[in-house]
Protein backbone atom coordinates (compact mmCIF):
# COMPACT_ATOMS: atom_id res chain seq x y z
CA UNK A 1 0.00 0.00 0.00
CA UNK A 2 1.27 3.41 -0.86
CA UNK A 3 2.00 5.59 2.11
CA UNK A 4 0.11 8.85 2.36
CA UNK A 5 1.64 10.88 -0.44
CA UNK A 6 3.77 13.86 0.44
CA UNK A 7 2.95 17.09 -1.33
CA UNK A 8 5.10 17.67 -4.40
CA UNK A 9 6.89 21.01 -4.07
CA UNK A 10 6.32 23.51 -6.88
CA UNK A 11 9.72 24.54 -8.21
CA UNK A 12 10.20 27.98 -9.72
CA UNK A 13 11.08 28.43 -13.37
CA UNK A 14 13.90 30.96 -13.50
CA UNK A 15 13.31 33.14 -16.51
CA UNK A 16 14.87 36.31 -17.81
CA UNK A 17 13.49 39.84 -17.49
CA UNK A 18 13.03 41.98 -20.60
CA UNK A 19 10.77 45.00 -21.06
CA UNK A 20 8.87 44.36 -17.85
CA UNK A 21 8.06 40.79 -18.85
CA UNK A 22 9.49 37.40 -17.93
CA UNK A 23 10.09 35.52 -21.18
CA UNK A 24 12.12 32.35 -21.56
CA UNK A 25 15.32 32.78 -23.52
CA UNK A 26 14.62 33.13 -27.23
CA UNK A 27 17.27 30.47 -27.86
CA UNK A 28 15.47 27.77 -25.87
CA UNK A 29 18.76 26.87 -24.15
CA UNK A 30 19.21 26.24 -20.45
CA UNK A 31 21.99 25.28 -18.09
CA UNK A 32 21.68 23.35 -14.86
CA UNK A 33 22.80 25.14 -11.73
CA UNK A 34 24.32 22.72 -9.24
CA UNK A 35 25.08 23.00 -5.55
CA UNK A 36 28.39 21.96 -4.04
CA UNK A 37 27.38 18.31 -3.95
CA UNK A 38 26.46 18.31 -7.61
CA UNK A 39 22.70 18.23 -7.12
CA UNK A 40 20.69 20.36 -9.54
CA UNK A 41 19.12 23.40 -7.83
CA UNK A 42 17.49 24.94 -10.87
CA UNK A 43 17.56 25.16 -14.64
CA UNK A 44 18.60 28.64 -15.65
CA UNK A 45 18.12 30.38 -18.99
CA UNK A 46 21.25 30.47 -21.13
CA UNK A 47 20.52 33.87 -22.66
CA UNK A 48 21.56 34.51 -26.24
CA UNK A 49 22.72 37.59 -28.09
CA UNK A 50 19.22 37.93 -29.49
CA UNK A 51 17.86 38.17 -25.96
CA UNK A 52 20.44 40.88 -25.38
CA UNK A 53 19.40 42.67 -28.55
CA UNK A 54 15.74 42.58 -27.49
CA UNK A 55 16.70 43.86 -24.06
CA UNK A 56 18.59 46.81 -25.56
CA UNK A 57 15.60 47.70 -27.72
CA UNK A 58 13.44 47.72 -24.58
CA UNK A 59 16.02 49.70 -22.61
CA UNK A 60 16.34 52.30 -25.37
CA UNK A 61 12.58 52.70 -25.55
CA UNK A 62 12.19 53.09 -21.80
CA UNK A 63 15.12 55.42 -21.14
CA UNK A 64 13.77 58.86 -22.17
CA UNK A 65 10.62 58.46 -20.08
CA UNK A 66 12.61 57.30 -17.07
CA UNK A 67 15.09 60.18 -17.39
CA UNK A 68 12.17 62.59 -17.53
CA UNK A 69 10.69 61.31 -14.27
CA UNK A 70 11.46 63.72 -11.47
CA UNK A 71 14.44 62.98 -9.25
CA UNK A 72 12.03 62.77 -6.36
CA UNK A 73 9.98 60.06 -8.08
CA UNK A 74 13.07 58.07 -9.04
CA UNK A 75 14.17 58.21 -5.40
CA UNK A 76 10.77 57.02 -4.24
CA UNK A 77 10.83 54.11 -6.65
CA UNK A 78 14.28 53.05 -5.48
CA UNK A 79 13.03 53.23 -1.94
CA UNK A 80 10.10 51.09 -3.00
CA UNK A 81 12.49 48.46 -4.38
CA UNK A 82 14.13 48.32 -0.96
CA UNK A 83 10.75 47.87 0.70
CA UNK A 84 9.81 45.02 -1.59
CA UNK A 85 13.18 43.37 -1.07
CA UNK A 86 12.76 43.63 2.69
CA UNK A 87 9.44 41.82 2.40
CA UNK A 88 11.06 38.94 0.55
CA UNK A 89 14.16 38.78 2.71
CA UNK A 90 13.74 35.10 3.62
CA UNK A 91 13.49 34.06 -0.02
CA UNK A 92 16.71 35.81 -0.94
CA UNK A 93 18.55 34.37 2.05
CA UNK A 94 17.37 30.90 1.09
CA UNK A 95 18.49 31.37 -2.51
CA UNK A 96 21.91 32.60 -1.47
CA UNK A 97 22.26 29.63 0.86
CA UNK A 98 21.23 27.24 -1.88
CA UNK A 99 24.04 28.71 -3.96
CA UNK A 100 26.61 28.04 -1.29
CA UNK A 101 26.64 31.17 0.87
CA UNK A 102 26.78 30.54 4.63
CA UNK A 103 23.64 31.42 6.59
CA UNK A 104 24.99 34.46 8.47
CA UNK A 105 26.74 35.81 5.40
CA UNK A 106 23.58 35.39 3.33
CA UNK A 107 21.49 37.33 5.84
CA UNK A 108 24.09 40.07 5.95
CA UNK A 109 24.26 40.26 2.16
CA UNK A 110 20.50 40.71 1.80
CA UNK A 111 20.42 43.34 4.57
CA UNK A 112 23.31 45.23 3.01
CA UNK A 113 21.56 45.12 -0.38
CA UNK A 114 18.41 46.63 1.07
CA UNK A 115 20.40 49.34 2.83
CA UNK A 116 22.31 50.09 -0.33
CA UNK A 117 19.11 50.69 -2.25
CA UNK A 118 18.05 53.13 0.46
CA UNK A 119 21.46 54.78 0.18
CA UNK A 120 21.11 55.39 -3.55
CA UNK A 121 17.43 56.34 -3.21
CA UNK A 122 18.61 59.16 -0.99
CA UNK A 123 21.05 60.37 -3.62
CA UNK A 124 18.34 60.71 -6.28
CA UNK A 125 17.67 64.40 -5.64
CA UNK A 126 21.15 65.27 -4.38
CA UNK A 127 23.84 64.05 -6.79
CA UNK A 128 22.95 66.77 -9.31
CA UNK A 129 23.77 69.52 -6.79
CA UNK A 130 27.04 67.87 -5.77
CA UNK A 131 28.37 67.32 -9.28
CA UNK A 132 26.97 70.35 -11.09
CA UNK A 133 28.85 73.63 -11.15
CA UNK A 134 28.72 77.26 -12.07
CA UNK A 135 31.97 77.96 -13.87
CA UNK A 136 33.84 81.25 -13.85
CA UNK A 137 34.52 82.39 -17.41
CA UNK A 138 36.24 85.51 -18.73
CA UNK A 139 33.38 86.72 -20.89
CA UNK A 140 29.90 87.95 -20.17
CA UNK A 141 28.37 84.51 -19.99
CA UNK A 142 26.65 82.60 -17.27
CA UNK A 143 28.38 79.25 -17.63
CA UNK A 144 27.10 76.17 -15.90
CA UNK A 145 27.57 72.41 -16.11
CA UNK A 146 24.92 69.85 -15.24
CA UNK A 147 24.71 66.07 -15.46
CA UNK A 148 22.57 64.14 -17.92
CA UNK A 149 22.18 60.35 -18.03
CA UNK A 150 24.36 58.72 -20.67
CA UNK A 151 21.49 56.48 -21.87
CA UNK A 152 21.57 52.70 -22.03
CA UNK A 153 24.13 51.03 -19.77
CA UNK A 154 25.13 47.40 -20.14
CA UNK A 155 26.35 45.81 -16.92
CA UNK A 156 28.36 42.63 -16.54
CA UNK A 157 27.55 42.10 -12.86
CA UNK A 158 30.25 40.64 -10.59
CA UNK A 159 30.36 36.86 -10.73
CA UNK A 160 31.35 36.27 -7.12
CA UNK A 161 28.28 37.90 -5.63
CA UNK A 162 24.68 36.78 -5.95
CA UNK A 163 22.88 39.93 -4.87
CA UNK A 164 24.93 42.78 -3.43
CA UNK A 165 27.12 43.11 -6.51
CA UNK A 166 24.07 43.18 -8.73
CA UNK A 167 22.21 45.77 -6.64
CA UNK A 168 25.31 47.94 -6.24
CA UNK A 169 25.63 48.25 -10.01
CA UNK A 170 21.98 48.60 -10.97
CA UNK A 171 21.04 51.23 -8.40
CA UNK A 172 23.56 53.95 -9.32
CA UNK A 173 22.81 53.54 -13.03
CA UNK A 174 19.03 53.87 -12.74
CA UNK A 175 18.98 56.51 -10.03
CA UNK A 176 20.66 58.80 -12.53
CA UNK A 177 17.99 58.23 -15.21
CA UNK A 178 19.73 55.55 -17.25
CA UNK A 179 18.18 52.28 -18.31
CA UNK A 180 20.28 49.15 -18.11
CA UNK A 181 20.73 45.62 -19.37
CA UNK A 182 22.42 43.38 -16.83
CA UNK A 183 24.09 40.02 -17.18
CA UNK A 184 23.65 38.24 -13.84
CA UNK A 185 26.41 36.34 -12.08
CA UNK A 186 27.02 33.12 -13.97
CA UNK A 187 27.74 31.02 -10.88
CA UNK A 188 25.00 32.59 -8.69
CA UNK A 189 22.19 33.70 -10.99
CA UNK A 190 19.11 32.87 -8.89
CA UNK A 191 18.84 36.09 -6.86
CA UNK A 192 19.08 38.17 -10.04
CA UNK A 193 15.89 36.61 -11.41
CA UNK A 194 14.11 37.01 -8.08
CA UNK A 195 15.36 40.59 -7.89
CA UNK A 196 13.72 41.18 -11.27
CA UNK A 197 10.43 40.13 -9.64
CA UNK A 198 11.08 42.68 -6.91
CA UNK A 199 11.71 45.39 -9.51
CA UNK A 200 8.57 44.31 -11.31
CA UNK A 201 6.52 44.95 -8.17
CA UNK A 202 8.14 48.31 -7.41
CA UNK A 203 6.79 50.66 -10.07
CA UNK A 204 10.04 50.52 -12.03
CA UNK A 205 8.76 51.06 -15.58
CA UNK A 206 9.21 48.04 -17.86
CA UNK A 207 12.46 48.18 -19.83
CA UNK A 208 14.34 50.40 -17.38
CA UNK A 209 16.07 47.35 -15.93
CA UNK A 210 16.48 44.19 -17.99
CA UNK A 211 18.19 41.15 -16.51
CA UNK A 212 19.65 38.25 -18.45
CA UNK A 213 21.25 35.05 -17.23
CA UNK A 214 23.80 33.13 -19.25
CA UNK A 215 27.45 32.63 -20.06
CA UNK A 216 30.05 35.39 -19.92
CA UNK A 217 31.99 33.75 -22.72
CA UNK A 218 29.04 34.13 -25.07
CA UNK A 219 27.72 37.54 -24.14
CA UNK A 220 30.60 39.77 -23.05
CA UNK A 221 31.49 40.77 -26.59
CA UNK A 222 27.88 41.69 -27.37
CA UNK A 223 27.59 43.75 -24.20
CA UNK A 224 30.66 45.72 -25.27
CA UNK A 225 30.03 46.06 -29.00
CA UNK A 226 26.33 46.90 -29.38
CA UNK A 227 26.12 50.30 -31.11
CA UNK A 228 22.99 51.32 -29.19
CA UNK A 229 24.60 50.93 -25.76
CA UNK A 230 26.18 54.09 -24.33
CA UNK A 231 28.24 52.66 -21.49
CA UNK A 232 29.47 49.24 -20.44
CA UNK A 233 30.30 48.30 -16.85
CA UNK A 234 32.41 45.25 -16.04
CA UNK A 235 33.40 44.00 -12.62
CA UNK A 236 35.67 40.99 -12.92
CA UNK A 237 37.12 40.69 -16.38
CA UNK A 238 40.66 39.40 -16.64
CA UNK A 239 43.18 41.59 -18.44
CA UNK A 240 42.65 39.98 -21.81
CA UNK A 241 38.85 40.25 -21.62
CA UNK A 242 39.06 43.81 -20.34
CA UNK A 243 41.18 44.71 -23.35
CA UNK A 244 38.67 43.02 -25.66
CA UNK A 245 35.85 45.02 -24.06
CA UNK A 246 37.78 48.25 -24.62
CA UNK A 247 38.34 47.42 -28.27
CA UNK A 248 34.74 46.39 -28.95
CA UNK A 249 33.43 49.47 -27.12
CA UNK A 250 35.50 51.79 -29.29
CA UNK A 251 33.20 51.51 -32.32
CA UNK A 252 30.67 53.93 -30.89
CA UNK A 253 33.04 55.31 -28.24
CA UNK A 254 30.89 54.08 -25.40
CA UNK A 255 32.03 54.69 -21.85
CA UNK A 256 33.91 51.73 -20.41
CA UNK A 257 33.66 51.54 -16.65
CA UNK A 258 35.90 49.11 -14.81
CA UNK A 259 34.85 48.12 -11.29
CA UNK A 260 37.24 45.28 -10.63
CA UNK A 261 38.47 44.13 -7.21
CA UNK A 262 35.76 45.99 -5.32
CA UNK A 263 34.53 44.36 -2.11
CA UNK A 264 30.85 45.03 -2.74
CA UNK A 265 29.55 44.30 0.79
CA UNK A 266 31.87 46.93 2.30
CA UNK A 267 30.70 50.44 3.09
CA UNK A 268 33.57 51.73 0.97
CA UNK A 269 31.78 50.31 -2.09
CA UNK A 270 28.96 52.84 -1.86
CA UNK A 271 29.64 56.38 -3.02
CA UNK A 272 28.01 58.88 -5.39
CA UNK A 273 30.85 58.58 -7.91
CA UNK A 274 29.19 55.34 -9.00
CA UNK A 275 26.29 57.53 -10.13
CA UNK A 276 28.55 59.99 -11.91
CA UNK A 277 30.22 57.17 -13.85
CA UNK A 278 27.18 56.90 -16.11
CA UNK A 279 26.44 60.62 -16.45
CA UNK A 280 27.48 63.06 -19.14
CA UNK A 281 28.35 66.64 -18.30
CA UNK A 282 26.51 69.24 -20.31
CA UNK A 283 27.91 72.77 -20.19
CA UNK A 284 25.81 75.72 -21.20
CA UNK A 285 27.03 79.24 -22.10
CA UNK A 286 24.26 81.70 -21.44
CA UNK A 287 24.84 85.34 -22.48
CA UNK A 288 24.36 87.92 -19.75
CA UNK A 289 24.49 91.73 -19.63
CA UNK A 290 25.01 93.72 -22.82
CA UNK B 1 -13.86 30.93 -71.20
CA UNK B 2 -11.47 33.68 -72.20
CA UNK B 3 -14.28 35.90 -73.43
CA UNK B 4 -16.31 35.63 -70.27
CA UNK B 5 -13.15 36.38 -68.30
CA UNK B 6 -12.72 39.71 -70.07
CA UNK B 7 -16.35 40.60 -69.49
CA UNK B 8 -16.14 39.59 -65.86
CA UNK B 9 -13.50 42.23 -65.32
CA UNK B 10 -15.93 45.09 -65.45
CA UNK B 11 -19.04 43.65 -63.94
CA UNK B 12 -19.77 43.45 -60.26
CA UNK B 13 -19.41 39.75 -59.46
CA UNK B 14 -21.92 37.93 -57.32
CA UNK B 15 -20.28 38.47 -53.93
CA UNK B 16 -22.47 35.87 -52.25
CA UNK B 17 -20.44 33.28 -54.18
CA UNK B 18 -17.12 34.46 -52.79
CA UNK B 19 -15.59 31.65 -50.70
CA UNK B 20 -16.00 31.87 -46.95
CA UNK B 21 -12.75 32.35 -45.01
CA UNK B 22 -11.71 29.75 -42.46
CA UNK B 23 -10.33 32.00 -39.74
CA UNK B 24 -8.77 29.22 -37.69
CA UNK B 25 -7.08 27.89 -40.81
CA UNK B 26 -5.75 31.35 -41.65
CA UNK B 27 -4.29 31.77 -38.15
CA UNK B 28 -2.60 28.40 -38.34
CA UNK B 29 -1.18 29.08 -41.77
CA UNK B 30 0.13 32.48 -40.67
CA UNK B 31 1.77 30.92 -37.62
CA UNK B 32 3.58 28.49 -39.93
CA UNK B 33 5.07 31.28 -42.06
CA UNK B 34 6.76 32.61 -38.96
CA UNK B 35 8.64 29.40 -38.26
CA UNK B 36 10.63 29.15 -41.49
CA UNK B 37 14.36 29.01 -40.94
CA UNK B 38 16.05 31.62 -43.11
CA UNK B 39 19.79 31.35 -43.67
CA UNK B 40 22.06 34.39 -43.68
CA UNK B 41 22.54 34.63 -47.44
CA UNK B 42 18.80 34.40 -48.07
CA UNK B 43 18.17 36.89 -45.32
CA UNK B 44 20.45 39.48 -46.92
CA UNK B 45 18.71 38.99 -50.26
CA UNK B 46 15.32 39.27 -48.58
CA UNK B 47 16.32 42.47 -46.79
CA UNK B 48 17.45 44.05 -50.05
CA UNK B 49 14.26 42.95 -51.76
CA UNK B 50 12.24 44.51 -48.94
CA UNK B 51 14.06 47.82 -49.40
CA UNK B 52 13.21 47.80 -53.09
CA UNK B 53 9.53 47.16 -52.27
CA UNK B 54 9.07 49.99 -49.80
CA UNK B 55 6.70 52.87 -50.49
CA UNK B 56 8.35 55.42 -48.21
CA UNK B 57 5.39 57.19 -46.73
CA UNK B 58 4.49 60.41 -44.97
CA UNK B 59 0.80 61.11 -44.54
CA UNK B 60 0.46 63.52 -41.66
CA UNK B 61 -1.47 66.71 -41.18
CA UNK B 62 1.84 68.28 -40.20
CA UNK B 63 3.59 67.44 -43.50
CA UNK B 64 5.43 70.43 -44.93
CA UNK B 65 7.25 70.85 -48.25
CA UNK B 66 10.47 70.55 -46.25
CA UNK B 67 9.39 67.26 -44.72
CA UNK B 68 8.48 65.87 -48.14
CA UNK B 69 11.82 66.98 -49.62
CA UNK B 70 13.57 65.31 -46.70
CA UNK B 71 11.63 62.10 -47.36
CA UNK B 72 12.64 62.21 -51.03
CA UNK B 73 16.28 62.69 -50.05
CA UNK B 74 15.93 59.66 -47.83
CA UNK B 75 14.47 57.70 -50.75
CA UNK B 76 17.42 58.64 -52.95
CA UNK B 77 20.16 58.27 -50.32
CA UNK B 78 19.08 55.38 -48.15
CA UNK B 79 22.48 54.85 -46.59
CA UNK B 80 25.25 55.90 -48.91
CA UNK B 81 28.02 54.38 -46.83
CA UNK B 82 26.64 50.96 -47.74
CA UNK B 83 27.26 50.35 -51.45
CA UNK B 84 25.03 48.20 -53.62
CA UNK B 85 21.71 49.04 -51.98
CA UNK B 86 18.57 49.16 -54.10
CA UNK B 87 16.39 52.26 -53.92
CA UNK B 88 12.85 52.23 -52.60
CA UNK B 89 9.97 51.69 -55.01
CA UNK B 90 8.11 54.93 -54.40
CA UNK B 91 7.39 57.77 -52.05
CA UNK B 92 3.79 58.15 -50.92
CA UNK B 93 2.41 61.60 -50.09
CA UNK B 94 -0.75 63.70 -50.10
CA UNK B 95 -1.89 65.16 -53.48
CA UNK B 96 -0.79 68.69 -52.54
CA UNK B 97 2.75 67.42 -51.98
CA UNK B 98 3.07 65.54 -55.29
CA UNK B 99 4.56 68.53 -57.13
CA UNK B 100 7.23 68.95 -54.49
CA UNK B 101 8.09 65.26 -54.59
CA UNK B 102 8.21 65.38 -58.39
CA UNK B 103 10.77 68.19 -58.23
CA UNK B 104 12.85 66.47 -55.56
CA UNK B 105 12.91 63.15 -57.41
CA UNK B 106 13.69 64.62 -60.85
CA UNK B 107 15.57 62.12 -62.96
CA UNK B 108 15.30 59.35 -60.40
CA UNK B 109 13.75 55.97 -61.01
CA UNK B 110 11.47 56.32 -57.99
CA UNK B 111 7.71 56.42 -58.41
CA UNK B 112 5.46 58.97 -56.80
CA UNK B 113 2.37 57.61 -55.15
CA UNK B 114 -0.36 59.89 -53.96
CA UNK B 115 -3.31 59.07 -51.78
CA UNK B 116 -6.58 60.47 -53.07
CA UNK B 117 -10.36 60.21 -52.80
CA UNK B 118 -10.82 61.84 -49.44
CA UNK B 119 -8.07 59.91 -47.68
CA UNK B 120 -8.28 58.48 -45.05
CA UNK B 121 -12.06 58.31 -44.46
CA UNK B 122 -13.25 58.31 -48.07
CA UNK B 123 -16.23 60.39 -46.96
CA UNK B 124 -16.37 62.81 -49.88
CA UNK B 125 -18.63 63.15 -52.90
CA UNK B 126 -17.51 61.30 -56.02
CA UNK B 127 -16.99 64.54 -57.96
CA UNK B 128 -14.49 65.72 -55.34
CA UNK B 129 -12.76 62.35 -55.34
CA UNK B 130 -12.38 62.43 -59.12
CA UNK B 131 -11.10 65.98 -59.06
CA UNK B 132 -8.56 65.11 -56.40
CA UNK B 133 -7.40 62.08 -58.39
CA UNK B 134 -6.98 64.13 -61.59
CA UNK B 135 -5.08 66.80 -59.68
CA UNK B 136 -2.68 64.24 -58.25
CA UNK B 137 -2.08 62.67 -61.66
CA UNK B 138 -1.59 66.05 -63.34
CA UNK B 139 0.91 67.04 -60.63
CA UNK B 140 2.95 64.01 -61.56
CA UNK B 141 1.80 61.05 -59.49
CA UNK B 142 2.24 57.74 -61.27
CA UNK B 143 0.46 55.74 -58.61
CA UNK B 144 -2.82 56.58 -56.90
CA UNK B 145 -3.76 55.05 -53.54
CA UNK B 146 -7.53 55.41 -53.22
CA UNK B 147 -9.72 54.46 -50.28
CA UNK B 148 -13.01 52.67 -50.76
CA UNK B 149 -16.21 54.01 -49.21
CA UNK B 150 -16.34 51.66 -46.24
CA UNK B 151 -19.66 53.09 -45.13
CA UNK B 152 -21.27 52.11 -48.42
CA UNK B 153 -19.55 48.74 -48.42
CA UNK B 154 -20.70 47.90 -44.90
CA UNK B 155 -24.23 49.04 -45.76
CA UNK B 156 -24.21 46.47 -48.54
CA UNK B 157 -24.13 49.04 -51.31
CA UNK B 158 -21.53 47.11 -53.31
CA UNK B 159 -22.54 48.52 -56.67
CA UNK B 160 -21.77 52.07 -55.50
CA UNK B 161 -18.30 51.05 -54.27
CA UNK B 162 -17.69 49.15 -57.49
CA UNK B 163 -18.73 52.06 -59.71
CA UNK B 164 -16.62 54.47 -57.68
CA UNK B 165 -13.48 52.38 -58.13
CA UNK B 166 -14.17 52.11 -61.87
CA UNK B 167 -14.63 55.86 -62.16
CA UNK B 168 -11.42 56.58 -60.24
CA UNK B 169 -9.57 54.03 -62.35
CA UNK B 170 -10.64 55.93 -65.43
CA UNK B 171 -9.56 59.25 -63.89
CA UNK B 172 -6.14 57.74 -63.16
CA UNK B 173 -5.31 57.34 -66.84
CA UNK B 174 -1.89 55.70 -67.03
CA UNK B 175 -1.27 55.92 -63.29
CA UNK B 176 -1.46 52.67 -61.34
CA UNK B 177 -4.44 52.38 -59.04
CA UNK B 178 -4.03 50.89 -55.56
CA UNK B 179 -7.29 50.32 -53.74
CA UNK B 180 -7.18 50.63 -49.95
CA UNK B 181 -9.75 48.39 -48.29
CA UNK B 182 -9.07 49.67 -44.74
CA UNK B 183 -9.43 46.17 -43.37
CA UNK B 184 -9.41 47.44 -39.78
CA UNK B 185 -12.86 48.88 -40.43
CA UNK B 186 -14.25 45.91 -42.31
CA UNK B 187 -14.39 43.76 -39.21
CA UNK B 188 -14.25 40.23 -40.57
CA UNK B 189 -11.99 38.29 -42.90
CA UNK B 190 -15.01 37.36 -45.00
CA UNK B 191 -15.64 41.02 -45.76
CA UNK B 192 -11.95 41.51 -46.53
CA UNK B 193 -12.15 38.73 -49.06
CA UNK B 194 -15.32 40.15 -50.59
CA UNK B 195 -13.92 43.67 -50.79
CA UNK B 196 -10.77 42.30 -52.45
CA UNK B 197 -12.79 40.51 -55.10
CA UNK B 198 -14.91 43.59 -55.69
CA UNK B 199 -11.87 45.89 -56.03
CA UNK B 200 -10.05 43.58 -58.42
CA UNK B 201 -13.08 43.17 -60.67
CA UNK B 202 -13.48 46.94 -60.72
CA UNK B 203 -9.99 47.25 -62.17
CA UNK B 204 -7.59 47.72 -59.23
CA UNK B 205 -3.93 47.27 -60.15
CA UNK B 206 -3.05 46.76 -56.49
CA UNK B 207 -5.10 46.04 -53.42
CA UNK B 208 -3.84 47.55 -50.19
CA UNK B 209 -4.76 46.73 -46.61
CA UNK B 210 -4.89 50.00 -44.73
CA UNK B 211 -4.48 53.72 -44.53
CA UNK B 212 -2.31 53.41 -41.45
CA UNK B 213 -4.71 55.69 -39.59
CA UNK B 214 -6.86 52.90 -38.13
CA UNK B 215 -5.84 50.12 -35.76
CA UNK B 216 -5.39 47.30 -36.51
CA UNK B 217 -3.59 48.20 -39.74
CA UNK B 218 -1.92 45.49 -41.83
CA UNK B 219 -1.84 42.06 -40.22
CA UNK B 220 -0.53 38.84 -41.70
CA UNK B 221 -4.03 37.37 -41.46
CA UNK B 222 -5.76 39.95 -43.67
CA UNK B 223 -2.79 40.00 -46.02
CA UNK B 224 -3.01 36.24 -46.46
CA UNK B 225 -6.73 36.45 -47.22
CA UNK B 226 -6.06 39.18 -49.79
CA UNK B 227 -3.20 37.20 -51.36
CA UNK B 228 -5.49 34.20 -51.69
CA UNK B 229 -8.10 36.40 -53.35
CA UNK B 230 -5.45 37.63 -55.78
CA UNK B 231 -4.44 34.06 -56.55
CA UNK B 232 -8.01 32.93 -57.24
CA UNK B 233 -8.67 36.04 -59.31
CA UNK B 234 -5.57 35.26 -61.35
CA UNK B 235 -6.76 31.68 -61.97
CA UNK B 236 -10.15 33.03 -62.98
CA UNK B 237 -9.12 35.90 -65.26
CA UNK B 238 -5.40 35.52 -65.97
CA UNK B 239 -4.73 39.08 -64.73
CA UNK B 240 -2.09 39.69 -62.07
CA UNK B 241 -2.98 42.10 -59.28
CA UNK B 242 -0.41 43.52 -56.86
CA UNK B 243 -0.56 43.55 -53.06
CA UNK B 244 0.44 46.24 -50.59
CA UNK B 245 0.23 45.70 -46.85
CA UNK B 246 0.56 49.06 -45.10
CA UNK B 247 0.74 50.29 -41.56
CA UNK B 248 2.32 48.61 -38.56
CA UNK B 249 5.16 46.86 -40.39
CA UNK B 250 8.24 48.42 -38.86
CA UNK B 251 10.42 45.38 -38.12
CA UNK B 252 12.56 43.62 -40.72
CA UNK B 253 11.75 40.26 -39.24
CA UNK B 254 8.03 40.79 -39.75
CA UNK B 255 8.63 42.01 -43.30
CA UNK B 256 10.59 38.83 -44.02
CA UNK B 257 7.64 36.80 -42.74
CA UNK B 258 5.45 38.67 -45.24
CA UNK B 259 7.85 37.72 -48.03
CA UNK B 260 7.68 34.08 -46.98
CA UNK B 261 3.90 34.31 -47.12
CA UNK B 262 4.02 35.96 -50.52
CA UNK B 263 6.38 33.33 -51.90
CA UNK B 264 4.27 30.46 -50.59
CA UNK B 265 0.93 31.92 -51.69
CA UNK B 266 1.56 33.61 -55.03
CA UNK B 267 5.02 32.36 -56.01
CA UNK B 268 8.08 33.97 -57.52
CA UNK B 269 6.21 35.97 -60.17
CA UNK B 270 4.97 38.33 -57.47
CA UNK B 271 8.33 38.72 -55.70
CA UNK B 272 9.15 42.07 -57.30
CA UNK B 273 8.38 45.72 -56.52
CA UNK B 274 6.09 45.66 -59.52
CA UNK B 275 3.67 43.34 -57.71
CA UNK B 276 4.34 43.74 -54.02
CA UNK B 277 4.91 46.79 -51.85
CA UNK B 278 5.28 47.63 -48.21
CA UNK B 279 3.64 50.88 -47.11
CA UNK B 280 5.89 51.99 -44.29
CA UNK B 281 7.87 54.84 -42.86
CA UNK B 282 10.16 53.36 -40.24
CA UNK B 283 10.70 49.93 -41.84
CA UNK B 284 13.48 51.20 -44.12
CA UNK B 285 15.76 52.15 -41.24
CA UNK B 286 15.22 48.86 -39.47
CA UNK B 287 16.12 46.97 -42.66
CA UNK B 288 19.23 49.13 -43.10
CA UNK B 289 20.25 48.40 -39.51
CA UNK B 290 19.82 44.67 -40.07
CA UNK B 291 21.88 44.80 -43.27
CA UNK B 292 24.61 46.68 -41.43
CA UNK B 293 24.46 44.08 -38.67
CA UNK B 294 24.90 41.31 -41.24
CA UNK B 295 27.91 43.15 -42.68
CA UNK B 296 29.66 44.03 -39.41
CA UNK B 297 28.36 41.47 -36.92
CA UNK B 298 27.52 44.29 -34.51
CA UNK B 299 24.02 45.33 -33.49
CA UNK B 300 23.24 48.84 -34.69
CA UNK B 301 21.82 52.04 -33.28
CA UNK B 302 19.31 54.40 -34.89
CA UNK B 303 21.74 57.21 -34.04
CA UNK B 304 23.83 56.31 -37.07
CA UNK B 305 21.04 56.30 -39.68
CA UNK B 306 19.27 59.26 -41.20
CA UNK B 307 15.94 60.11 -39.68
CA UNK B 308 12.81 59.15 -41.52
Q: Quick one: pLDDT band at residue A3, thresholds 50, 70, 90?
A: low
The CATH number of the structural domain formed by A30-264 is 3.40.605.10
pLDDT recorded at residue A11? 87
> Would you tell me which residues 56-85 of chain A have a C-beta closer than 8 angstroms to some C-beta of chain B?
56
- A178-203 per-position pLDDT tens digit: 999 999 999 999 999 999 999 999 99
CATH number of B22-304, picked from 3.30.70.260, 3.40.50.1220, 3.40.50.2300, 3.20.20.70 = 3.20.20.70
Residue B4 has pLDDT above 50, yes or no: no
Q: What percent of chain B lies above the pLDDT cut of 70?
A: 97
- Name every chain B residue with its beta carbon within 8 A of the beta carbon of A53: 299
- In this model, does residue A251 exceed pLDDT 80? yes
The ranges assigned to domains in chain A are: 30-264
Does residue A253 sit at the B interface (CB-CB below 8 Å)?
no
Cα separation of B42 and B38, whole Å? 6
Percent of chain A with pLDDT over 70: 98
pLDDT at A67: 98
Evaluate if pTM is beyond 0.90.
no
Q: What is the pLDDT of residues A78-101, one digit of tens each?
A: 999 999 999 999 999 999 999 999
Q: Which positions of B are annotated as active-site residues?
A: 145, 208, 244
Asked if A184 has any chain B CB less than 8 Å from its own CB, the reply is: no
- Interval A4-44: pLDDT, tens: 778 998 889 999 999 999 999 999 999 999 988 899 999 99
Residues of B (239-298) whose Cβ lies below 8 Å from A:
298
B302 touches chain A (CB under 8 A): yes
At A124-147, the pLDDT tens digits run 999 999 999 999 999 999 999 999
Q: Do B299 and A252 touch (CB under 8 A)?
A: no
Residue of chain A whose Cα is closest to the Cα of B300: A227
Please compute the mean of the pLDDT values over residues A160-183 and round it to a whole number: 97
| Average model confidence (pLDDT) across chain A | 95
Q: Confidence band (pLDDT; 50, 70, 90) for B11?
A: confident
For chain B, what are the domain ranges? 22-304
Instruction: Give pLDDT, residue A115.
Output: 98
Q: Residue A228: its chain B contacts at CB < 8 A?
A: 299-303
Per-residue pLDDT at A290: 60
At B52 the pLDDT is 97
B70 touches chain A (CB under 8 A): no
Task: Place B273 in a pLDDT band, splitting at 50, 70 and 90.
Answer: very high
Within 8 A of A49 by CB-CB distance, chain B residues are 299
Whether B61 shows a pLDDT value over 80: the answer reads yes
| Contact across the interface for A228 and B299, Cβ inside 8 Å | yes
The reported pLDDT for the residue numbered B6 is 46
Amino acid sequence: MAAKSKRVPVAKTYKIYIDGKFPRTESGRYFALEDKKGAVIANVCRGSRKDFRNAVVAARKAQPGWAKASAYLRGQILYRIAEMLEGRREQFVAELRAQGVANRAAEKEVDTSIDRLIYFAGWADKYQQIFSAVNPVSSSHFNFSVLEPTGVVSVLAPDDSGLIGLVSNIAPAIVGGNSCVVLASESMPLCAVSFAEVLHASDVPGGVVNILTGFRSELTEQFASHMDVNAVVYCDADKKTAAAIQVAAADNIKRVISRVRIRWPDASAQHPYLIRDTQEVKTTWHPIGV
Amino acid sequence: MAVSAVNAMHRLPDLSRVPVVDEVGVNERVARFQTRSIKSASKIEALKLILSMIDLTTLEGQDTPGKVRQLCQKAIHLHDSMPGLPHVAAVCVYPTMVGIAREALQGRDINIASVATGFPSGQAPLSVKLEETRLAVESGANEIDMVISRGAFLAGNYQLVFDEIMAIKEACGDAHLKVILETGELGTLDRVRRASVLAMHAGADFIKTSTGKIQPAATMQVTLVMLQAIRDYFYETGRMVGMKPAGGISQSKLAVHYLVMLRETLGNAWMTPEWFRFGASSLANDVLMQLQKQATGVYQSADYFSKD
